[in-house]
Structure 1
Amino acid sequence: MSEKLSFPKLILFDWHGTLVNTLDAMYQAVEVLLDQLEDLDLVPSMSREMETRNIDDEKLLRYVRVFRHLHPKILAERRISRTDIFDVLFGDDEQAKNTAHQAYNENYRQFFGKVKPFQAGIYEYLCCLKASGIQLGIATNRSREFLDKELERVDGGRWQSLFEVILCGNETGHYKPAAGMLIEAMARVGIKNHEDVWYVGDSQSDMLTARRAAVPSVFYNGALWDEAWFKGAFVDHQMHYEPNAIVDDFDQLLDLFETLGALQQRPSRQPPREPPEPHIEPDWHPSVAQLRPPSLILFDWHATLVDTLDAMYHAVDDMLAEFEELELMQRLVTEDNAKSPEDMKLVTHVRQYKQLHPKIKADRKISRTDIFEVLFGEDDAAKRVAHGHFTRHYRKYYGTALPFESRVRYVLQGLLDIGMPVGVITNRDREFFIAELANVNGEDWSGFFQVSICGDDTEKRKPHTDQLQKAVDMFDMPLAEDVWYVGDSTTDTIAAKTAGVTSVFFNGAQWDQPWLNTIFPGSARYPHKPDVVVNDFSEFWALVLACRHKKQGFGR
């Protein structure tokens, strides 16, 4: 792609991502800033999702709105600039972006210092351009305080004499993509004809800056984006600020010049830049391709959305103390029927001490439903008795429900915002669920859910499918893979897979992979395995957004 270019008198370069690599410090400073959005009163200034340029921008905006940090894919790939991030978050709100840039500078001061050329041989390339009669400059949103120090350090400081003009973001009143920085740079070297200036940068914001300044632009493809990315980033965008040319490295930049005129002292070509190693996504990501995008999301309650562990373990211990009286001791599974040696250890401890092992209560990782599944196996009658007497004891302790993670309610709000129907499937009796729902850390969460099915609303509780069936009936939907059931227990997974819906295992207990393999062996006797595992609500929200992306496609 190359058009409307003439041999320039001045080339202005962006700094980070074009001439140098300062990614570590940049992303650290951005992450700190995002955690400060409330304190900076920037949340009300965030763009609306309908105003974003494309699906990827919408995903970034929704993710930051909920979790106040960057999507893990962005952090892993390290391809997007902070200016582009701010453009996505705040759109055309220049005041909000200026506030964000200023706060970023304060944070960047903690991290900056490490700087290196973005690719090998940049000094020689710049010397070639300069020897060919082209003036060089830098136009960057980096503050002068940091730019000067980084220029002193990079490549032993030998770049400092190469540039006739340098303008930084805190010197012209407005940060890019405002055009003032480029126009001021032209004035300082006495150039009036805009066609005599090229701006070379690595971001969408840089290209928009050039378009607003009416100077030709060259996109330095430092991230080695593919053709599809460029189509979504520029060609389909209504503002039409696609670059005049795209180059993957500085050799291709010099090739552009050689089509327009002679170059002096051209250095030897460097080996072509290699794309980054394929990103290995979190464990859940490979499953995205196989997941049906959700039309309905159903959640377990305890240990998924909320923490009621203290009350739950107290009630279980009270009930275990009555096992002899309830004639449940003789109905505990035998060693032959236990799912695993670890399960048999729990059965043996309960048989001997009539209480949970202290490690179980200390680890706080297993639900009462899973406890009953371990103790009684396929004896549904025994489990019904156990659930009934658990309810009697739970009445003494219930009342305090806390969000399982601090930003769970923001995920629920995010689901409402994208129009996703949401419900709860829980073995908790309705008497307790309604009280807890109305008082989650002092807040009423009832507005987040269109349906709730409790353990005493159907004849059989999970792992039977009755509750899931009743929930989808209320939405006039079939049990199918576009129904997601999100839960923290093997019981939840069994219920989901038996019903034929997508099982999202919420690994709030942070089980490691060997233990997940143990509790989900995929054997003939225990065939049910989750379709996907998420370790926290951050991963779950990323999964939802990724599947929406898949459903909607890459355009709007």
Structure 2
Amino acid sequence: MLKALLWDVDGTIAETERDGHRVAFNLAFAELGLDWGWDERRYGELLQVTGGRERLLADMRTRADAPASTAERETLALRLHAAKNRHYAALVTQGRIDARPGVLGLMREAAAAGLRQAIVTTTSRSNVDALMPRLLGEDWRTLFEVVLCGEDVARKKPDPEVYDRALARLRLAPGQALAIEDSTPGGQAAQAAAVPVMLRPSVYFPARELPEGWRGWFCGPQQALSVPVLREHHAACTALAQRGV
């Protein structure tokens, strides 16, 4: 039986990546005097790496003008990431990022139906604290029993650690929850934790790019989401898992 929804944030609750985080990274590069920039294509490639600091380090490994030593790169990545988070918070405050259609209503419908909810993301806590009050109001935490962010885990998605921790905090078995994700790494993390997934494609993770076999197993129906739709999808995922599919 479905008892809880486990929400990813970036790309799932809101389309934050292209016009939020990417723009903020470019502002951080300029602030630190770096002649670097991530266009939409390059940022899409880097999204295969989870975590902003980790993304920066991955990009530096391809740059001839990046610091030579690992220690220097780590220091620069920390400075850039802190600057990026400040710029991202400013973009959110300016109203540049909206929730995906139907998401906020679904959260309230789920709460009214007695479903427990958690935020299960590996983005920075400061990003969550900037975005969620803007979307749901200052009392947004009343909707979520658990809020887990990148600082709460040693290993980010696609590692299942954040899902394992959320289940432990909620005292639920994996099959009693439904993960709502938009990306391949997020879906892999939930799958590794044995949590059924509704994977809703986003700007950077369109349905055509999902791994072969995921579209029927993980990808939710394209109709408007509602609690009955979630329950139906969860039951279908559970039945497939029981058959070993």
TM-based fold match above 0.5: yes
Partner of 1:476: 171
Partner of 2:150: 455
> In structure 2, do the counterparts of structure 1 residues 472 and 395 end up closer, same or farther at CA, with 3 Å as the change threshold?
same
Within-5 A mapping of 1:226-375: 293-309=1-17, 310-318=19-27, 354-359=36-41, 369=50
> In structure 2, do the counterparts of structure 1 residues 455 and 484 end up closer, same or farther at CA, with 3 Å as the change threshold?
same
Query: Could you tell me whether the CA contact under 8 Å between 1:311 and 1:398 is conserved in 2?
Result: no
- Matched residue SS, 2:127: helix
Instruction: Write out per-residue CA displacement over residues 336-380 of structure 1, whole angstroms, 9 at most, x where no aligned residue.
Output: xxxxxxxxxxxxxxxxx843234567x9xx687388679849x9x
Within-5 A mapping of 1:358-397: 358-359=40-41, 369=50, 376=58, 385=74, 388=78, 389-397=80-88
The number of aligned residues is 215
1:544 partnered with 2:230:
yes
Partner of 1:439: 134
- Cα deviation for residue 304 of structure 1 reads 0.9
TM-score (normalised: structure 2) = 0.68
Within-5 A mapping of 1:458-537: 458-478=153-173, 480-509=174-203, 513-516=207-210, 520-521=211-212, 531-534=217-220
Instruction: Write out per-residue CA displacement over residues 181-220 of structure 1, whole angstroms, 9 at most, x where no aligned residue.
Output: xxxxxxxxxxxxxxxxxxxxxxxxxxxxxxxxxxxxxxxx
Higher relative contact order (CA 8 A, sep 6+): 2
CA distance in structure 1 between the aligned counterparts of 2:221 and 2:168, rounded to whole angstroms? 30
TM-score (normalised: structure 1) = 0.33
CA distance in structure 2 between the aligned counterparts of 1:422 and 1:301, rounded to whole angstroms? 13
Q: How many percent of aligned residue pairs carry the same amino acid?
A: 19
CA distance in structure 1 between the aligned counterparts of 2:144 and 2:158, rounded to whole angstroms? 22
- Code of the aligned partner of 1:408: V
CA distance in structure 2 between the aligned counterparts of 1:521 and 1:319, rounded to whole angstroms? 37
Partner of 1:277: none
Instruction: Write out per-residue CA displacement over residues 461-492 of structure 1, whole angstroms, 9 at most, x where no aligned residue.
Output: 222222112111111223x2332211111110
Query: Could you tell me whether the CA contact under 8 Å between 2:5 and 2:117 is conserved in 1?
Result: yes
- Code of the aligned partner of 2:89: Y
CA distance in structure 2 between the aligned counterparts of 1:531 and 1:373, rounded to whole angstroms? 29
- Cα deviation for residue 497 of structure 1 reads 1.5
User: In structure 2, which of residues 80, 92, 110 is the aligned counterpart of residue 415 of structure 1?
Assistant: 110
> In structure 2, do the counterparts of structure 1 residues 513 and 415 end up closer, same or farther at CA, with 3 Å as the change threshold?
closer
Instruction: Write out per-residue CA displacement over residues 46-81 of structure 1, whole angstroms, 9 at most, x where no aligned residue.
Output: xxxxxxxxxxxxxxxxxxxxxxxxxxxxxxxxxxxx
> In structure 2, do the counterparts of structure 1 residues 425 and 537 end up closer, same or farther at CA, with 3 Å as the change threshold?
farther
> In structure 2, do the counterparts of structure 1 residues 370 and 473 end up closer, same or farther at CA, with 3 Å as the change threshold?
closer
Query: Could you tell me whether the CA contact under 8 Å between 2:122 and 2:156 is conserved in 1?
Result: yes
Query: Could you tell me whether the CA contact under 8 Å between 2:15 and 2:203 is conserved in 1?
Result: no
> In structure 2, do the counterparts of structure 1 residues 437 and 533 end up closer, same or farther at CA, with 3 Å as the change threshold?
same
Instruction: Write out per-residue CA displacement over residues 424-443 of structure 1, whole angstroms, 9 at most, x where no aligned residue.
Output: 11122223312322221756
The structure number with the bigger radius of gyration is 1
Query: Could you tell me whether the CA contact under 8 Å between 2:182 and 2:205 is conserved in 1?
Result: no
Unaligned runs of 5+ in 2: 62-69, 237-245
CA distance in structure 2 between the aligned counterparts of 1:496 and 1:373, rounded to whole angstroms? 21
Instruction: Write out per-residue CA displacement over residues 524-546 of structure 1, whole angstroms, 9 at most, x where no aligned residue.
Output: xxxx8883213667146453142
> In structure 2, do the counterparts of structure 1 residues 305 and 368 end up closer, same or farther at CA, with 3 Å as the change threshold?
farther
CA distance in structure 2 between the aligned counterparts of 1:532 and 1:489, rounded to whole angstroms? 11
Unaligned runs of 5+ in 1: 1-292, 326-352, 523-527, 551-556
CA RMSD of aligned residues (A): 4.1
CA distance in structure 1 between the aligned counterparts of 2:170 and 2:136, rounded to whole angstroms? 29
CA distance in structure 2 between the aligned counterparts of 1:502 and 1:433, rounded to whole angstroms? 24
CA distance in structure 2 between the aligned counterparts of 1:461 and 1:450, rounded to whole angstroms? 21
Partner of 2:242: none
> In structure 2, do the counterparts of structure 1 residues 521 and 456 end up closer, same or farther at CA, with 3 Å as the change threshold?
same
- Cα deviation for residue 392 of structure 1 reads 3.6
- Cα deviation for residue 451 of structure 1 reads 0.8
Query: Could you tell me whether the CA contact under 8 Å between 1:460 and 1:466 is conserved in 2?
Result: yes
- Cα deviation for residue 300 of structure 1 reads 0.5
CA distance in structure 1 between the aligned counterparts of 2:177 and 2:87, rounded to whole angstroms? 35
- Code of the aligned partner of 1:503: V
